[in-house]
Chains A and B, each alone.
Chain A
Amino acid sequence: MAAVEEPQDYLDVLQSHRGGFSFENCKRNAYLASQVAIKPPTAMKSGTTICGIQLKDVVILAADTRSTCGPMVADKNCEKLHFIAKNVYCAGAGTAADLQHTTEMMESQMELLRMATGTQPRVCTVVRRLSSMLFKYQGYVGCALVLGGVDVTGPHLFQIYPHGSTDKLPFTSMGSGSLAAMAILEAEYNENLSVEEGKKLVAKAIRAGIFNDLGSGSNVDVCVITKDVGGTILRNFEKPNERKFRAKHAAFPIGTTPIMKQEITKLVSVEEDVVMRD
Chain B
Amino acid sequence: MMDFMAQRPVGQEFVRHVEDGCPYRADDVMKPEQAVSTGTTLVVAEFDGGVVMCADTRTSTGQYCANRASRKISKVHDRIFVCRSGSAADTQALTSFVLHYLGQHAVELGKQPTVNTAANLFKIMAYNNKDHLLAGLIVAGYDDKKGGQIYSIPLGGTRVRVPYAADGSGSGYIKGFMDANYRPGMSKAECLEFVQKATALAISRDGSSGGMVRSLVITKDKVEEAVIEGNKLPVDL
A residues near B (Cβ < 8 Å) are 1-4, 21, 23, 26, 29-30, 33, 38-43, 45, 47, 70, 94-95, 97-98, 128, 131-132, 134-140, 142, 144, 159, 161-167, 169, 172, 178-179
Contacts and interface: CB of A to CB of B under 8 A. Distances in A.
A180 B181 CA distance: 43
Of B13, B30, B31, B89, most A-chain CB atoms within 10 Å: B89
Given A4-B13, A169-B67, A162 B33 contact: yes
Q: Is the interface of B mostly helix, strand, loop or mixed?
A: loop
Contacts of B132: 138
Given A137-B8, A139-B33, A162-B33, A40 B89 contact: no
Given A29-B15, A161-B66, A169-B67, A132 B93 contact: yes
A136 B92 CA distance: 13
Contacts of B69: 169
A38 B66 CA distance: 34
B208 to A, nearest CB: 16
A42 B25 contact: yes
B28 interface: yes
B32 A140 contact: yes
B17 A164 contact: no
A68 B36 CA distance: 24
A179 B89 CA distance: 22
23 contacts: A2-B6, A2-B7, A33-B16, A38-B18, A39-B18, A40-B17, A42-B25, A47-B27, A70-B25, A135-B93, A138-B11, A139-B35, A142-B33, A159-B67, A161-B61, A161-B66, A162-B32, A163-B32, A163-B88, A164-B89, A165-B36, A167-B59, A169-B67
B97 to A, nearest CB: 10
Interface string B1-34: 0000011111101111110001011011111111
B204 interface: no
Contacts of A47: 27
A2 B10 contact: yes
A16 B66 CA distance: 39
A138 B13 CA distance: 13
Contacts of A159: 66-67
Nearest to B17: A40
Contacts of B9: 2, 4, 21, 23, 137-138, 140
B70 interface: yes
Top 7 nearest A-B pairs by Cβ distance?
A139-B32, A165-B88, A163-B89, A162-B33, A40-B17, A165-B89, A43-B29
